[in-house]
Every structure is written in structure tokens, then in C-alpha cells.
Amino acid sequence: MPTLIRFFLFLAFVGALVFGSMVALITLVEPADKEVSVRIQTKDLLGS
């Protein structure tokens, strides 16, 4: 039984680390804005 509790505590610790790293990524990282343009051929627009 103690090994099962230790296993659950380990899983909770790993889950807390993953959750904390996701929160840190959300709050600390700002995505860079850039303009995106995609060229589409005329035949694709006309459907021929």
C-alpha cells in the first residue's frame, strides 16, 4: 500500500510540473506577429 501512495504522489508531482510549465508558457511567451501571404494560382480560383 505505501508504494501505491508513493506512486500516486509521484504522478501528482509530475502533473503539477507539467501544469506549471504550461502556465509559465502562457504567461511568459509572447508570439511574434508576422504577415503571411500564400500565392494561389488562377486555375485554382476559377475551378477549371
Residue 10 is part of which domain span?
2-46
From the CA atom positions of the chain, what is the Rg in Å?
Answer: 24
CA distance 43 to 28: 44
Burial code (b: 16+ CB inside 10 Å, e: under 16) for 12-39 equals eeeeeeeeeeeeeeeeeeeeeeeeeeee
DSSP summary character for residue 6:
H
Residue range 1-47, pLDDT digits in tens: 789 999 999 999 999 999 999 999 999 999 899 999 988 888 878 76
Based on the structure, what is the number of domains in the chain? Answer: 1
